[in-house]
């Protein structure tokens, strides 16, 4: 199991160095890309929760691998990174989904403005 985790970590370091992007940039880009990609593959609307749920499960698996990596001697212990990585991966995609669902009947109760009727003479 440790070999798989270390190979995954080596791949992530290689990807970050090859693309010249930080670890957090990759989380943000892949979170959005995978949410849109799973939505397209599953033929779900942009406001669907299913693609985001799949991305959340994959992100939790990734963070579990990172936690296992912390148990291996010689790797630095990064305790707060998991919460940051999950937030960076999920929150932008969540914002897109909420924006797509904004006109849905479920969100009318959150709006403060009433419809204004304009009378013309």
pLDDT one-digit tens code per residue, 11-66: 888 988 999 999 899 999 999 999 999 999 999 998 899 999 999 999 999 888 88
Domain boundaries, position 94: 2-110
Q: Which residues neighbour 19 within 8 Å (Cβ) at sequence distance 6 or greater?
A: 26
Question: 50 in a domain, yes or no?
Answer: yes
Number of domains in the chain: 1
Question: 55 in a domain, yes or no?
Answer: yes
pTM of the model: 0.77
CA-closest candidate to residue 27, choices 4, 70, 60, 68: 60
CA-closest candidate to residue 63, choices 93, 16, 95, 23: 23
Question: 118 in a domain, yes or no?
Answer: no
Question: 73 in a domain, yes or no?
Answer: yes
């Amino acid at each position: 199991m440790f070999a798989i985790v270390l190979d995954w970590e080596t791949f992530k370091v290689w990807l970050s160095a090859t693309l010249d992007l930080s670890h957090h940039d990759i989380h943000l880009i892949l979170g959005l890309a995978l949410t849109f990609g799973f939505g397209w593959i599953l033929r779900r609307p942009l406001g669907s929760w299913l693609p985001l749920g799949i991305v959340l499960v994959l992100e939790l698996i990734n963070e579990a691998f990172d936690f296992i990596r912390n148990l291996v001697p010689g790797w630095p212990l990064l305790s707060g990174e998991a919460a940051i990585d999950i937030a960076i991966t999920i929150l932008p995609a969540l914002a897109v989904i909420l924006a797509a669902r904004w006109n849905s009947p479920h969100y009318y109760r959150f709006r403060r403005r009433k419809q204004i009727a304009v009378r013309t003479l």
